[in-house]
């Protein structure tokens, strides 16, 4: 079965739009997001435009703050402090990558975690690790939501995560191994967890044997055709995070054609994890708004 991220994301966008319409009907202000863009990297510009469009669709007010490549780290930090204390802004993101002369770590540390709707500050990551309420970064949050909406349980399952980046591999591994931190009776994203997780990376020996023991495989390596049919047991769930361009075509990290017949559930690329990532940013903005206006 195909895990249709595009369809689920549309469902969630409709839910967010409903909530924002209700706020408007009560005469309340709508959530406001700022997106900081430094320089003119074409891929970053596309991502930012997609985020602005997604916000407009659900009624979130979004503001693009563009700065030249030459901006100094100090000036950017001053802008971030200004956004931290701007009462009209509920959340903001700094589009990565930043130019080489600016430290991404320093910039991330400067963001107030309550406005960190990308969930990348050390405070939010630490809170996630400790199972405390936090803003969870968009891609892992989207994957968890996709599993929940298809009623795919993770309790006691062996999840293999390929990739150990701070934005995907590490946080999704952490989320799925947690004791569910909210006690919710029905199947919801917050009730997922309790998995046994193995994290693999480029130095892992015998990736195939490890994958063959997995009930769920999450691949986030940026390596086309990394996961092939001989590495997957029958009935496994496959989540393909990869985005690669091969011969002008967008593909993931999974040999979809041969793996799909063996899998119980599988995400396509495009149309799987990608749309869930963008919608998670919208959910995070709404979450930050509610905390801010509480």
Q: What is the set of active-site residues? A: 51, 95, 118
Closest by Cα among 58, 35, 56, 59 to 47: 35
Please give the size of the binding site for ligand NDP, defined by CB under 6 A: 26
174, 220, 259, 288: which one contacts ligand NDP (CB under 6 A)? 220
CB 209 within 8 A of CB 185: no
Q: From the CB of 171, what's the least distance to ligand NDP, in Å?
A: 10
Place of tokens 């780290």: 73
Nearest residue (CB) to ligand NDP, 6 versus 157: 6
Q: How many Å apart are CA 188 and CA 198, to the nearest integer?
A: 23
Q: What is the CA radius of gyration of the chain?
A: 19
β-bridge pairing 216-219 and 196-200:
unpaired
Q: Does 202 bind ligand NDP (CB under 6 A)?
A: yes
Per-residue contact track with ligand NDP, 137 to 176, x per CB under 6 A?
--x----------------------xxxx-xxx-------
Q: Does 231 interact with ligand NDP (rule: CB under 6 A)?
A: no
Mask for 62-101, x = binds ligand NDP (CB under 6 A): ----------------------------------------
Cis ω for the linkage preceding 163 (within 30 of 0): no
- Among positions 201, 208, 249, 290, the unique one binding ligand NDP when judged by CB under 6 A: 201
By C-alpha distance, which of 39, 96, 41, 44 is closest to 68?
A: 39
Q: Are strands 32-38 and 91-94 parallel, antiparallel or unpaired?
A: parallel
Cβ of residue 175: shortest distance to ligand NDP, in angstroms?
15
Residue 221 found at the interface with ligand NDP (CB under 6 A)? yes
Q: How many helices (H) and strands (E) does the chain have?
A: 10, 10
> Could you give the CA distance from residue 196 to residue 46 in angstroms, rounded to a whole number?
37
Please give the structure tokens belonging to residue 123: 């405070």
Give the other-Cβ count within 10 Å of 288's Cβ.
24
Q: Considering beta carbons, is residue 191 or 284 the nearer one to ligand NDP?
A: 284
Check residue 41 for interaction with ligand NDP (CB under 6 A).
Answer: no
Task: Work out whether 277 is an interface residue with ligand NDP (CB under 6 A).
Answer: yes
Residues that bind ligand NDP (CB under 6 A): 139, 162-165, 167-169, 200-204, 207, 220-223, 226, 241-244, 273-274, 277
């Amino acid at each position: 079965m195909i895990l249709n991220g595009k369809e689920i994301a549309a469902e969630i966008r409709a839910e967010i739009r409903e909530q924002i319409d209700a706020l408007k009907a009560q005469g309340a202000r709508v959530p406001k997001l700022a997106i900081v863009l430094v320089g003119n990297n074409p891929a970053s510009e596309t991502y930012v435009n997609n985020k602005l469009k997604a916000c407009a669709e659900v009624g979130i007010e979004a503001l693009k703050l563009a700065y030249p490549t030459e901006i100094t780290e100090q000036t950017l930090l001053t802008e971030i402090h200004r956004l931290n204390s701007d009462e009209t802004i509920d959340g903001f993101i700094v589009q990565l990558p930043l130019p080489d002369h600016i430290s991404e770590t320093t910039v991330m540390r400067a963001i107030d975690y309550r406005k960190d709707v990308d969930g990348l500050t050390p405070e939010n990551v630490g809170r996630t690790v400790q199972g405390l309420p936090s803003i969870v970064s968009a891609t892992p949050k989207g994957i968890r939501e996709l599993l929940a909406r298809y009623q795919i349980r993770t309790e006691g399952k062996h999840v293999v995560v390929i990739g150990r980046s701070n934005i995907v591999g590490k946080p999704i591994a952490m989320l799925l191994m947690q004791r569910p931190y909210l006690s919710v009776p029905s199947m919801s994203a917050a009730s997922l967890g309790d998995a046994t997780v193995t994290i693999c990376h480029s130095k892992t020996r015998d990736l195939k044997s490890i994958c063959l023991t997995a009930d769920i495989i999450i691949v986030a390596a940026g390596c086309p055709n990394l996961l092939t049919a001989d590495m997957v047991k029958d009935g496994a769930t496959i989540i393909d995070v990869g985005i690669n361009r091969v011969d002008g075509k967008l593909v993931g990290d999974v040999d979809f054609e041969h793996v799909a017949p063996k899998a119980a559930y599988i995400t396509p690329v495009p149309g799987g994890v990608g749309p869930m990532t963008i919608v998670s940013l919208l959910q995070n903005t709404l979450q930050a708004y509610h905390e801010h206006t509480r």
